[in-house]
Chains A and B, each alone.
Chain A
């Protein structure tokens, strides 16, 4: 039976309710097992030696002393991870990032690793490894790295995407461009033009759980990996490729995950743990310290963005242009490209052009962080839009409403929009009580919009009906924040049974077909689509079994409210059979009943949000206080509204930290100065107010229930919304994120000095 994913308006029974999550009790009693909570008999402790230099040639590594230390069972270097990537440049970068091959490219780059009987011995062994470095000049700033005089990080890089292939290598790996119309002509029609440059500093996802795994390679070539990850199937593929294994011989189990936000989408320690286990012949547990997480996992890009927007006196934008430079760490990425796609996605523009530059720097390899690349682009664009509204003399909300994209608008990155939520979120913000609340002295209000694509991708789900009529739902997307609850609701809805009758689990890589990474806000979107498909397949079998039990044609059996019902007058006395009754009899009617689904979840509906915030600025110190914060976002359909609110609030809080406080600080020596939560300060409870949320539901036409991804969009507007609020409160335009007290004070003083 072909699965029809199209939206069909229906009255929901389970979807939209707020039950307690199935994994909840384990999580409030300390029983839930995260990455570091798992142990195997005979396991060793793994530790990684990391480069203290930002850029250095590795002349020689001498591990002999470490190997002789009693209790050390394996020492590895890049030589133990031979290059099996077979010309796959992206995988070669992953391999090089796992263990430096000839050159250390950032402070924290792994150069060797040990496995020992305990942590103390492993730490001692690291000190006995002698690395002979030849220091090379380094560059950590994105603008500095683009200069012709900058030290070259990889002399094999020639900028892609230029009209003519460059003759010299550079730190710019790629140029990308998006847009339509003629911006030159558009600016010619403008009565007002705002042009500004912006910078954002590098931030980290800041998940509270450090990366952790337990690897066990057997002498027969099979292996097990227990790991906190957003995508165990992708980890299996990558680890198998790097270790030279067949994927099916590596079983990867995803632990409970203590936060990821995009940061647990890449392998770092896992291939190293597997290589250590292979060499030692024993299981190896490898857990990063917080210092290692900051120095050697994947933070977001630092950026430098120029924006130019023009409008007529009536408030219509005539042209919009942006140049975006994003740091990628020492390896090629597509971060500026994504920024260039998202920058103007909220608006209906006749003339738009964005250009992105991917820039190599001696910092850790950039990884995704919640709507990766979009918040920085939105910061620049939405700041300029606010300024332009002022120039035109319009209210910033009215100005945005006038220019908002609509159904049928050709987006700035290409596709034509279906039904979208930017207009409705703006209208909801306009009429929100927050907009009319009075402000005090030194207080400012700001608002901003945000966009995220959302993703679907490959998804495989099994729905198994037990002999007692209870339902096991096995999904392959990782539960990063309540998706087992939302997917159980969807299974209950489709089957017509109670939520409590369904138990959802995240299956390991040997128990289920391939699933893409749980990223792009796809967890509930794609796995609910697969769950609906699996449930419909199970219902087909349930109807067949009922028909068999009644000895009638399956065409006369329909499924309603969790029961098979015989249709037609001739079957009037047959009554109905519950799912449980059919399941109990299944041994005599053909055996186990299950529904499976393998699909590519296309049609993830784009998502928009509008945020409002009030900030107080102390003009004497530059200190800020968030007074009030409101999130309005389109969810398509909120499957479990409490967890949707949670996504909105969490994204806003991360954005607040990014806007006001968080940044990677590098010294002149290229070393990270603040690799800990004391000096890289994320928002704490006393920093924040309650975060008000408003869920809009504009159904996604490409999902049976109208669901859109909800996880990421909420981090897109905050940087700009807060920058607009701070700028209004301080009376000076802020152009550099984070707006820490010294930056705000400097801006105020510069203005006072005229």
Chain B
């Protein structure tokens, strides 16, 4: 099967790749581009571990085809920190121990970043519903919610 040539922007960098027409963007990121920060927990859009931001919209990259990234902007966990300076959400996840095994963490960080971009001052309930598309099996979400609350207050002050 002939590959599809795709030209896109990932974390601000221009990227070109060939992919199969039925290949997901998640597989492209992980297997072709070496960006393994997005994880496959289910492959059916239920767990959010593969969350990325596509043109300012939070999506599960397992539900997007690699070919669909043509001409668009992709943001992944690998682009969240600025050099060695962590994003406030990353820093607060560490300080609050909002991760145990950490497999869901990239997805949560991306989803939380998207949430705070749209709602910089969310209530606890808004955070809980905003992150309801991401599964975590370790933490019971308590420390994740607190980390997002803390990051929101830091980012408001910045």
- A interface vs B, CB < 8 Å? 18, 20-21, 23-25, 27-34, 36-37, 119-120, 205-210, 256-261, 287, 289-290, 480-482, 642-643, 645-647, 649-650, 652-654, 676-678, 682-688, 690-691
Contact = CB atoms under 8 A, between A and B. Distances in A.
B137 A207 contact: yes
Contacts of B133: 684
A24 B138 contact: no
Nearest to B148: A685
A658 B130 CA distance: 23
A684 B102 contact: no
Contacts of B47: 208, 290, 677
Contacts of A289: 43
B5 interface: no
Given A20-B94, A688-B140, A646 B100 contact: yes
A280 to B, nearest CB: 19
B128 A259 contact: no
A290 B138 contact: no
A261 B138 CA distance: 9
A686 B127 CA distance: 8
13 contacts: A28-B90, A29-B78, A29-B90, A30-B36, A36-B40, A208-B47, A256-B103, A481-B138, A646-B143, A650-B138, A677-B46, A685-B136, A690-B145
A653 B138 CA distance: 8
B97 A653 contact: no
A30 B42 contact: no
Given A208-B41, A688-B141, A482 B100 contact: yes
A334 to B, nearest CB: 25
Contacts of A684: 131-135, 141
B97 A646 contact: yes
Majority DSSP secondary structure for residues of A touching B: loop
A179 to B, nearest CB: 35
Contacts of A25: 86, 94
A480 B104 CA distance: 14
Given A34-B39, A649-B139, A685-B134, 19 more contacts: A28-B109, A29-B77, A30-B35, A30-B36, A30-B106, A119-B27, A208-B103, A208-B104, A210-B40, A260-B101, A287-B40, A290-B42, A290-B43, A480-B100, A645-B143, A654-B137, A677-B47, A686-B125, A688-B141
A691 B103 contact: no
A678 B138 contact: no
Nearest to A485: B97
A27 B138 CA distance: 14
A650 B80 contact: no
Given A32-B102, A653-B141, A685-B128, A209 B39 contact: yes
Interface residues of B, number: 58
B80 A258 contact: no
Contact of A30 (B77, B93, B100): B77
A23 B93 CA distance: 13
B105 interface: yes
B20 interface: yes
B116 interface: no
B138 A685 contact: no
A289 B42 CA distance: 7
B99 interface: yes
Contacts of A37: 30, 36
In the complex, the 8 A-B pairs of residues with the closest C-beta atoms, listed nearest first: A30-B37, A258-B103, A653-B140, A27-B102, A649-B140, A481-B100, A677-B46, A30-B77
B95 interface: yes
Contacts of B136: 208, 685
B25 interface: no
A208 B137 contact: yes
Contacts of A256: 101-103
Contacts of A260: 101
Contact of A31 (B37, B40, B134, B139): B37
B39 A258 contact: yes
Contacts of A690: 142, 145-146
A341 to B, nearest CB: 26
B101 A207 contact: yes
B81 interface: yes
A203 to B, nearest CB: 12
A114 to B, nearest CB: 18
B103 A290 contact: no
A481 B101 contact: yes
A36 B90 contact: no
Interface string B76-88: 1110110000100
From A20, A260, A653, residue with most partner B Cβ within 10 Å? A653
A259 B137 contact: yes
A27 B44 contact: no
Given A208-B104, A208-B135, A682-B137, A677 B44 contact: yes
A672 B1 CA distance: 34
A650 B86 contact: no
A676 B62 CA distance: 15
B78 A30 contact: yes
Contacts of A259: 101, 103, 137-138
Nearest to B20: A120
A486 to B, nearest CB: 11
Most chain B beta carbons < 10 A, residue from A30, A257, A643, A650: A30
B38 interface: yes
Contacts of B41: 208-210, 258, 290, 677
Nearest to A631: B140
B67 interface: no
